[in-house]
């Protein structure tokens, strides 16, 4: 940096820089813990449901039975989407990545929301929008997948949970309860994670008094990158490249020696292990045993042990999610869109929180370019 640069404190990537105050989630790096509104994410994933988690994030407390029943009924009646959304998805090239499809779907969906014209600061309207967004995300991802395959969309079953709805629409068959439970747990683990890149981008957008849908589209665009949500897809491609447990040690040795990017490991917020990965690893490996396919769990053991011993780096949640989804026969390019199905609940919670006590987010940049140059007329420039 030049001497002329303003000497403000600076952290590349804004690492460790507080950017706001939130009551939605807390990451404790020292204890490798994550809490949603004071509740440990492991308890929510193991004993609760994604719908309970979504209610908690949006409404600020865990629902009682009556509240949960009403919430599930509202989600069930809102799962279907306007035909115009499917028309837009059918107009996209078949090579379109599902993340681009779901981003487009939300852009189209926005104008059909009954509260579309309500001011960005209308709290009750925002809650209604948020519930519609959570309800419709899985429908649009799963039916978008069908459209890309040349199949017709399927109408959602209002009795289905979020995970059951997604699996039913994706496969066209009744969801297996164990499969739905594992997917449900992963949705809970993916639902919220503080001021991550996409959530922060979402908050920046709504801080301009734009609407929730604009924040969602911004978040999805940010999540699209392989250093954020796309890491689970890249982690699975890495495991497929390794192929067999017998290849794993040589592969990881070479990757470390050549400084190859090892997807699914490390996290800026966790230095002692990603709390979400710990639970998902357990159920992913159990799924492999149940299905008689333990090779990905065995490869994972070798990679995890080597990375921990040599680099003190631990897997993040994207690593076990990758082979868990693969064992569930979910196409790899749907992994990040599944992240969207979960994370829109967190995006909406943050957008509502931002708008409830809003101030435009406008950080300062440190200028590091030339200054006080003399303007040269165009005719005199070399």
117-137 pLDDT per residue, tens: 999 999 999 999 999 999 999
Nearest to 304 by CA among 239, 240, 258, 243: 239
Q: Per residue in 229-262, pLDDT tens?
A: 788 899 999 999 999 999 999 999 999 999 998 9
Catalytic: 267?
yes
- Residue 1 has what pLDDT? 45
Domain pair 42-223+335-356 / 231-327, same fold: no
Question: Residues 187-194: what's their mean pLDDT?
Answer: 95
Query: What percent of the chain stands above pLDDT 90?
Result: 82
Residue 305 has pLDDT above 50, yes or no: yes
Q: Would the pLDDT of 203 be above 60?
A: yes
List the catalytic residue out of 113, 267, 274, 350: 267
CATH topology of domain 42-223+335-356: Citrate Synthase; domain 1 (1.10.580)
Domains of the chain, residue spans: 42-223+335-356, 231-327
How many residues belong to the chain? Answer: 382
Measured CA angle at 140 (ends 134, 144), to 5 deg: 160
d(CA 209, CA 225): 25
Number of H helices, E strands in the chain: 16, 3
Report phi then psi at 283, rounded to 5: -80, -25
Mean of all residue pLDDT scores within the chain: 93
Count of C-beta atoms within a 10 Å radius of residue 28 = 13
Measured CA to CA, the distance from residue 83 to residue 67 in angstroms comes to 30
Q: Tell me: domain 231-327, CATH 1.10.230.10, correct?
A: yes
Per DSSP, the residues of 161-226 read -HHHHHHHHHHSSPPPHHHHHHHHHHHHHHS--SS-HHHHHHHHHHTTT--HHHHHHHHHHHHTST
Which position among 318, 329, 333, 368 bears the catalytic label?
A: 318
Q: How far apart are CA 218 and CA 198, in angstroms?
A: 7
Task: Output the pLDDT for position 9.
Answer: 77
């Amino acid at each position: 940096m030049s001497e002329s640069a303003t000497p403000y404190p600076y952290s590349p990537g804004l690492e460790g820089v507080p950017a706001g105050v939130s009551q939605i989630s807390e990451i404790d790096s020292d204890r490798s813990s994550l809490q949603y509104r004071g509740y440990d994410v492991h308890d929510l994933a193991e004993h609760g449901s994604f719908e309970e988690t979504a209610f908690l994030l949006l409404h600020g407390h865990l629902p009682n039975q009556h509240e949960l029943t009403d919430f599930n009924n509202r989600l069930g009646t809102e799962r279907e989407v306007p035909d115009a959304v499917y028309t837009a998805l059918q107009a996209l090239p078949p090579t379109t990545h599902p993340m681009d499809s779901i981003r487009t779907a939300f852009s189209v969906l926005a104008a059909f929301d009954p509260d579309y014209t309500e001011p960005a600061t209308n709290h009750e309207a925002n809650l209604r929008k948020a519930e519609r967004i959570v309800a419709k995300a899985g429908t649009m991802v799963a039916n978008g997948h069908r459209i890309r395959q040349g199949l017709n969309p399927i109408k959602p079953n209002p009795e289905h949970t979020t995970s059951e709805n997604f699996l039913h629409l994706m496969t066209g068959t009744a969801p297996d309860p164990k499969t739905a439970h594992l997917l449900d747990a992963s949705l809970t683990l993916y639902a919220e994670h503080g001021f991550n890149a996409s959530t922060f981008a979402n908050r920046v957008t709504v801080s301009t008094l734009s609407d929730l849908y604009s924040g969602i589209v911004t978040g999805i665009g940010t999540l699209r990158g392989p250093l954020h949500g796309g890491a689970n897809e890249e982690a699975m491609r890495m495991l497929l490249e390794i192929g067999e447990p017998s290849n794993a040690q040589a592969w990881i040795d070479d990757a470390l020696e050549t400084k190859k990017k090892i997807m699914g490991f490390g996290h800026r917020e966790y230095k002692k292990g990603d709390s979400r990965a710990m639970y998902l690893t357990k159920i992913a490996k159990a799924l492999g045993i149940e299905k008689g396919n333990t090779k990905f769990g065995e490869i994972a053991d070798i990679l995890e042990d080597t990375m921990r011993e040599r680099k003190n780096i631990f897997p993040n949640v994207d690593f076990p999610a990758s082979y868990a989804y693969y064992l569930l026969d979910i196409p790899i390019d749907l992994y990040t869109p599944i992240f969207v199905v979960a994370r829109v609940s967190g995006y909406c919670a943050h957008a509502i929180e931002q708008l409830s006590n809003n101030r435009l987010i406008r950080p300062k940049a440190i200028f590091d370019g030339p200054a006080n140059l003399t303007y040269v007329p165009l005719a005199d420039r070399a």
